[in-house]
Amino acid sequence: MNSPAQNKTETFFYDDDVVKKFIVATIIWGLVALLLGVFIAFQLSSWRLNFNLPWLTFGRLRPLHTNAAIFAFGGNAIFAGIYHSSQRLLKTRLYSDTLSRIHFWGWQAIIVAAAITLPLGITTSKEYAELEWPIDIAITLVWVVFAVNFMGTIWRRREQHMYVAIWFYIATIITVAVLHVVNSVEIPVSFLKSYPVYAGVQDALVQWWYGHNAVAFFLTTPFLGLMYYYVPKAAGQPVYSYRLSIIHFWSLVFIYIWAGPHHLLYTALPEWAQTLGMVFSVMLIAPSWGGMINGLLTLRGAWNRVRTEPILKFFVAALTFYGMATFEGPLLSIKSVSALGHYTDWIVGHVHGGTLGWNGFLIAAMLYYLVPKVWKTELYSTRLANAHFWTGFLGIILYILSMWVAGITQGLMLRAVNAEGRLVYPDFVETVIRIVPLYWLRAIGGTLYLIGFGMLAYNLYKTIKRAPKVADEPQTAEPLKVDYTKLLEKRPHRILEALPTTFTVLTLLAVLVGSIIEIMPTLMAHNYVGTTSKAKPYKPLELMGRDIYVRESCYTCHSQMVRPIPSEVLRYGKHSKAEDSMYDYPHQWGSKRTGPDLANLGGKYPDLWHFRHMIDPREVTPKSIMPGYPWLVRDKADFRSLKKKLQVMRGMGVPYSDAEIEHAEELAREQAHKIASQLEAQGIPKGMAEREIVALIAYLQRLGKGEAQ
C-alpha cells in the first residue's frame, strides 16, 4: 500500500491465549463427540447396549453426538482458526480480551448444558437444533459477543484489504445468526419445554432450511475460510487463483441457501419448493468443485511434500473428501435418486464422508500446523501423525463403504415389488436384519477413526507439554488511515474489499434472497393446507403422548411421512398430505428410517401389542433392534401441565375450546382410564392409567387418524 509518510509503525501483540484455549477445547470435545458416535454405532449393531436406561438410549444420545460433533468439536475448531488467522490477516490484536473470554467460556457452558439436557430428554426434536429455549437464548448472546469481537477486530485492522478467508468468516457469522434466530422462534410452556411457532409443513421447511444451511454455514464456509488461509501457509505459496476464490465465495453463498428443500423431496412440501431445492442443489456442484480445485492446485509444485508431510496429507484428503461429498450431495438431491436413498443409511454415509473426511481431517491438519506454531515448538512425532492419517483414513473408508452398501441394499429391498404387485419383503425388520453386519463394520470404522484422533490428542499433548515458556513476540505494522473519498476517486472498483460494512450487507442480501423467496410463500399461505378436509387437534392425552415421543427422540429412527411412491403406499398405506400434520408443533416427519414409518400407525395393532412392544420390542417383533422403554411403565405421567400446554397451542392457532382447556386434565385422565381398563382386562397389572405408557399408546393409536369427519 502507498501509505502516507506521516504514518508511524505501531507495536502490538496477538492474543494467542484464547486461540490456545479453543484448541484444547477442540481436542477434548473431539474425543467426546467421536466416542459418543462410536457408542451409538455399536448400539445400532446390538440393542443390548441401550441397557434399558433412559439416558443411555440411542434416541437421547444421537442428538448429543450430532450436537457435540458439530457445535462442540467443529465450533471450537473454527473459533480457534478464525481468531488465529484473522489477527494475522488484519494485523491487529483481537478487539477485546474480555469478549474473547466471554465467548470461550460461554460456548463451553452451552456445550455442558447440552450434554446435561439432551440425555435427560429435554429436547425440541428439531434436528441439529434440539436444545431448549434458555440454551437457544444463550447461544444467541454468545454469538453476538463473537460477532462484536470479530467485527471490532476488522474495524481496528492495519491491513486495508480483507483477504478472502475473512469474507467466509463474515458470511458464517451473519448467516448462522439469521438461521438460528428464525429456526428457534418458540413459545415456552415451562422453563425447559417449549413449542415452536411453526407447525407441520412450515416447520419442516424452516427446519431444513436451517438444517441444510447449518451444514453450509457452520461446516462449509468457515472451513473454506480456514482452507484458504492454512493451505497456502502449509504449502508455502499463495492460493492457486485468487480470482477463482472470489467467484467461489459469491456463488457458494448465493446458491447454498436455496438447497434446503432437497431434504423434503416427495414429501407434503409444495412441489415448486421441492423443484427449486433440487435445481439449486445440483447447481451447487459448480462452486463446490471450484473451491476444491482451487485448494488442491494451491499445492502445485509441492506434491512431492505430500508424501512426507502429514499436514499436507490431511489437507489433500480433506479437500478430496469435500469434492466427493459435494458430488454425492447434488446426486442425492435428484428426485429419483432421493426416492431410493432418502431415509436410508446412504445419507448417513454421505454425511460422515463430509464430516469425518472434510471437517475432521481439515481440523486435524489445522491442529498439527497450529499447535507447534502458537506454542512455539516442534511437533512431538511426525510418525504418529502419519499413523493417525492412515488409521483415520481406513476408518472413513470402512464407514462410508458399509453405509453405501447398507443404504442401497435396504432401499432396494424396501421398494421390491413382485409380479403380483405385492411387496417382496413386507416385514420391515427383514430388511434391517440384512444390514446389521454392515452396522458392525461401520462401528469398527468409527472406532478406527476414534483411535486415530486419540493419537492426535496424545501427540499434541506431548507437543504442548514440552513447549518452552516464551513471551509473546511483539508485532509491528503501520496504522490504517482509510480515506474513503480518496479511495473512491482512485480505484472505485476496489472499495468492496475495503469496506466491511458494505460487504456484510451484500452478503446478507445474497443469503436473504434465497431464504425469502423460498420460505415466505409457505409461511404466509395457510391455504396450502387444504380447507376441505381439516384435521382434528390432538386430544389432551394424545398431546401428552406426543411430548413423550418427542422426549425420547423417536424421530431419530422413525419418520412420519409416507411419500407418494407405489412401494411406500403398499407398505405404509395412504401417502401423507400437508393437513395431516397441520397441528404438529413441532413436525415429526423425521429424516431416517432405522425402523418403519409411523404416519399411519394408528389402529394397525391393538393397545396390548404396543404395551408389550415398548417394554421389550423383541417380544412381538423377533430380531428387532429397537431399544426397550421399560421406564414408560414405571414413570408417572405429567397431567398437570396439560392446561398450560393447550393454552400455548391455542395461542398458536390450534382450535381448542375453553371447556377443553379448562378440563384438559380430567379429559386426559378419562381417556387414560379407558385404555388402562382395557389393558387390565387383557391381564396387564392395575394402575397403568397414571403411567406414561398409556399416553404414548393414545398418541400412537391416533397417528393417521386425524381427519375430521
Partner 1 sequence: MKAQVLANFSMPWLTCIGLLIFFAVFCGALAWVFRKSGEPVYAKLSVLPLEEDRK
Residues of this chain that interact with partner 1 (CB under 8 A) are 85, 88-89, 159, 161, 163-165, 228-229, 232-233, 236-239, 242-243, 246-247, 250-251, 272, 493-494, 497, 521, 524-525, 527-528
Quote the least distance from Cβ 696 to partner 1, whole Å.
36
C-alpha cell at 207: 427446519
Please say whether the beta carbons of 284 and 274 come within 8 A: no
Q: CA torsion sign, 258 to 261 to 262 to 266? A: negative
Quote the least distance from Cβ 89 to partner 1, whole Å.
6
Q: CA torsion sign, 670 to 672 to 673 to 679? A: positive
Longest dimension (CA), the chain: 95
Helices (H), 417-474: 428-465
Quote the least distance from Cβ 525 to partner 1, whole Å.
5
Nearest-CA neighbor of 452 among 17, 5, 34? 34
Closest to partner 1 by CB, 144 or 495: 495
Closest to partner 1 by CB, 88 or 462: 88
Quote the least distance from Cβ 404 to partner 1, whole Å.
34
Q: Under DSSP, is residue 157 helix (H, G, I), strand (E, B) or coil?
A: coil
**Residue 201 phi, psi dihedral angles, 5° rounding:** -60, -35
Nearest-CA neighbor of 302 among 627, 432, 671, 311? 311
Closest to partner 1 by CB, 298 or 338: 298
Closest to partner 1 by CB, 251 or 447: 251
| DSSP-assigned beta bridge partners for residue 375 | none
Quote the least distance from Cβ 101 to partner 1, whole Å.
25
C-alpha cell at 218: 457452520
Closest to partner 1 by CB, 89 or 129: 89
Quote the least distance from Cβ 212 to partner 1, whole Å.
20
CA pair distance 412, 535, nearest whole angstrom: 34
Type and span of the H or E element at 275: helix 271-283
CA pair distance 668, 376, nearest whole angstrom: 66
Helices (H), 46-90: 58-67, 75-90
| DSSP-assigned beta bridge partners for residue 193 | 190
> Strand 186-190 relative to strand 10-12: parallel, antiparallel, unpaired?
unpaired
CA pair distance 37, 433, nearest whole angstrom: 21
Quote the least distance from Cβ 161 to partner 1, whole Å.
6
Closest to partner 1 by CB, 11 or 336: 11
Closest to partner 1 by CB, 287 or 628: 287
Closest to partner 1 by CB, 527 or 709: 527
Nearest-CA neighbor of 180 among 215, 140, 146? 140
Closest to partner 1 by CB, 53 or 520: 520
Please say whether the beta carbons of 104 and 18 come within 8 A: yes
Residue whose C-alpha cell reads 394397525 in the numeric block: 604
Quote the strand ranges of 211-302, DSSP E.
none
Closest to partner 1 by CB, 141 or 525: 525
Q: List Cα–Cα distances, 701 to 537, 663, 695, in angstroms.
A: 14, 22, 10
Quote the least distance from Cβ 486 to partner 1, whole Å.
16
Closest to partner 1 by CB, 235 or 544: 235
Those residues with Cβ within 8 angstroms of residue 214's Cβ, 6 or more apart along the chain or in another chain? 70, 128, 129, 176, 179
Quote the least distance from Cβ 644 to partner 1, whole Å.
34
Quote the least distance from Cβ 460 to partner 1, whole Å.
21
Quote the least distance from Cβ 690 to partner 1, whole Å.
45
